[in-house]
Chains A and B, each alone.
Chain A
């Protein structure tokens, strides 16, 4: 189970938690005052009131120790930048996701060490455009992959000595065997680029490669078990 520290109480922070699978993540909420602490605690979350400008206080939450993911959801960009810099200095491996208010602050947050910048207005604008330009596709994806239906997109890493090592992607036959669609493969050798399978039918899998698949949760789980059965899982997720 991964532990997430959420800095800042807002609609956004509650929405993110609502979207995440509660079995896979645990949370610690960092709020500004007692009133906010009460509101968050009512929803059953671990709550702290700390001064984020103090490194010792941040450490006390678990950053640099047991926190895997940090959400910087303060309304002010300067607060998020300061928090990102402080947290990155404490933990180099930490996944930092920060919200941005002014688009110009995005680069500053990235420079401060954030992994992903979220501009809600930009995302909303793009989404509206997608709805306009491709209503059918967005409708399908919204109802399935991004919706409440049991259809998910997942990435599965091939561990060392996996039985799938040296297997050609064409021979996986996921559609028939698992009711999964293999979208593409990230070849460890050539970087982070996703290669779509219909273009490169005969890619030979090696350890470290990441398979991007689409399908129901049970089939993803079954396939992951096959991949991980041979050896200890390294990084895999859904």
Chain B
């Protein structure tokens, strides 16, 4: 598998995401925000960071990057796309995912080792997990509060589009403790916590995040 990792101005976890892709057994292909070229990749990861400084609204400017036009079209054709943190925000701004992410309810940036429950393992990014599996991965955000209107919320809950939910502590005021969602088709997934920081025993919180980067190959082979 060849998985592209996009670098926007202000991307921070792009190197980490490339490492996670490699440790997951795939080839990491760097993609540049200004090039409308996906270099023939099989899937794309939008990494965390503060693209364009998050100055207007997190993800609002990156959504218009030349590479995003290609990604939006490919996602609509079914290509797997994973957005992590800032990447999740960009996917919401691009209307590839429902809902929006707003400033944490306590108004502070928070970095913590977060327990999650994987609610939906039928996406190409979560197939390696058991449904209901509990995993601990780093969370770090200032604007991670997931919100949606009541109708949208009811729909994504009803359609099983909630991919992961916070356990023990809701770190940012997300509605229904939602930590990640997918689109209706399931190929586009956004998560606020950082699975790419949990892929080695040595660093981060262990290897609970590696499943996000091994699922793709597993789901394609299956």
A joins B in a complex: no
